[in-house]
Amino acid sequence: MYMMWFDDNNKKPVERKIDEAITAYIRHFKTRPNVVLVNEADRVALPDIRVRVASYVQRNNFWVGWEDAAAINAAAQVATTGTH
């Protein structure tokens, strides 16, 4: 499940926008997310959370959520090798 966060304040760095999105996610879902989907223009490297570019995410939108690590690894294997 993802929670979408929008912040188009140009004076605020992307890292802070994502941090605020994570805080809102925790407040709402009572658990910490492990991934945030971003537009290519908003790509940053952050500790403790996977930041992944998604072509369908618009600039200044941050989709914060949880992805199962085993499912991610299996999908990555299929994508790179074509096998399960």
Mean per-residue pLDDT over the chain, rounded:
90
78 pLDDT band, cuts 50/70/90, is low
Q: Give the pLDDT of residue 72.
A: 60
Structural contact between residues 35 and 20, judged by C-beta atoms closer than 8 angstroms: no
* Mean pLDDT of the 62-83 span: 72
At a CB cut-off of 8 Å and minimum separation 6, what does 66 contact? 1, 31, 33, 34, 35
- In this prediction, residue 74 carries a pLDDT of 61
Look at residue 3 and tell me whether its pLDDT is greater than 70: yes
The answer to whether the CB of 77 falls within 8 A of the CB of 57 is no
